[in-house]
Amino acid sequence: MPFCLSRRWPVRQLIAATSIALLVACAEKPTAADAQPLQTVPAVTAPAMVPPVVPTGDDLDLAPTQTFAEWQAGFRKEALAAGIRAELFDRAFAGVSPDMSVIKADRSQPEFTRPVWEYLDGALAPLRVSKGKSLLQQNAQVLQNIEQRYGVDRQALVAVWGLESNFGQIQGSKSVINSLATLAYEGRRPAFAHAQLIAALQILQQGDIAPEKMLGSWAGAMGQTQFIPTTYNTHAVDFDGDGRRDIWGSSTDALASTAHYLQSSGWQRGQPWGFEVELEKDFDYALADGTIRKTVAEWVDLGVSTYAGGPIAPGEWKLSASLLLPAGHSGPAFLVFDNFRAILKYNNSSSYALAVGLLSERFSGGGLVYGQWPKEDLPLSRTERIELQTLLGQHNYDAGNPDGIIGANTRKAIRSAQQSFGWPADGYPTHKLLEALRSR
């Protein structure tokens, strides 16, 4: 039974072009603290399928080499060659012009990130939990049908719904065509923007929505569960049977489309997303790496136990799990399974996936975290992360390009440095490590 185990809290597909796939493959996965900050009512954020921006010193110097009218004329030829009708293109582009707020958002690199515990406080806010409970009851039959069709737990779907758009209330107010045209013209990621813009025009041509009603985030994410256009084309479904795949106005279509995406991302019917665990004092924290997977039985042999000694369900002993330390070795620990990884494909942030799992359990009274967060140890700023990566490289710990993104290469370098100091090698960036490297 998913998301319902004794004494524990078990709890969009983007292949637009080869160049886009390479962008995703080469990007380092963000740490938990790198998730988008939540407000009391969450801001609509771009989904994980948008490749993360790796900042360079040249970003602000980029300038188009042609006028927008010239770019639009060239793109119109591409669109028509791809099968878009001329009258549909002209209607969709009526009044479209570059939006500087989109360019600014695309290039922005926030200096500070909220700690994972603050992120979770917003994600698991009482109002969101209460609203989710109510919607689970109101949509019980529809959610049951979606569960039967796709095998994805209804609580998880409602959690995604709540985190992406506050249950459909905040979907974004920008023209998707205008935003994507701006990003394509701006020129920093033309392959991605072009692919999304063609896909958006295909959606309009299919008749699922009118151009003036195709609204979303600055990055082109749309609807109640924030699909980008290519993901919409591959995974959106008409589950309410009205002849349109309406992820904007139909919560049924939005939730079923999300279930379809999670199913294709490896969701395992009837399995938990993960659960909180405790570690022995001499535990080898270097094992807390998302690339390391072991069965629950193997983790137990290595010194991992369920929190407060809760039982492990018979079917879980052989499940493949990774160990997650979202705030390093001094914070809570979790074993996470395939369903956690499926959520990461929806939004590639460990704190987001953790929030989905915990929120799904809060709807039934669970989802509590019992380990203590290290609230005295605030995350490094972006400037400090870049300095840390630079210092690691200077001390022969290869962290890759100093870009402020704490991904696999940086975590490996951090572990090596921590081991040299005789510290727990959890791969987590801290002020203590930064100061030690400065002193060295």
Which residues, other chains included, contact 311 with Cβ-Cβ below 8 Å and sequence gap of 6+? 6, 7
Alpha-carbon gap, residue 274 to 336, rounded angstroms: 4
Q: Are 278 and 303 in contact (CB under 8 A)?
A: no
Cβ atoms within 10 Å, residue 268: 17
Q: Are 392 and 414 in contact (CB under 8 A)?
A: yes
What is the chain's length? 440
Phi, psi for residue 333 in degrees, rounded to 5: -125, 150
Averages of pLDDT over each 10 residues, the chain, 440 residues = 32 34 30 34 38 44 80 97 98 97 89 94 98 98 98 98 97 97 86 95 97 96 97 98 97 98 97 96 94 96 88 90 97 98 95 98 96 95 97 95 93 96 96 96
Alpha-carbon gap, residue 66 to 79, rounded angstroms: 18
Q: What was the pLDDT predicted at 26?
A: 30
Q: What was the pLDDT predicted at 313?
A: 87
Q: What was the pLDDT predicted at 312?
A: 87
Cβ atoms within 10 Å, residue 17: 14
Q: Are 178 and 211 in contact (CB under 8 A)?
A: no
Q: Are 182 and 75 in contact (CB under 8 A)?
A: no
CA dihedral (305, 268, 165, 41) in degrees, to 10, reads: -10
State the Cα angle at 269 between 3 and 7, rounded to 5°.
20
Q: Are 308 and 282 in contact (CB under 8 A)?
A: no
Per-domain residue ranges for the chain?
Answer: 382-439
Which 3-state string (H, E, C) describes 312-341?
Answer: CCHHHCCCEEEEECECECCCCEEEECHHHH
Structure tokens at 63: 């300038």
Q: What was the pLDDT predicted at 187?
A: 61
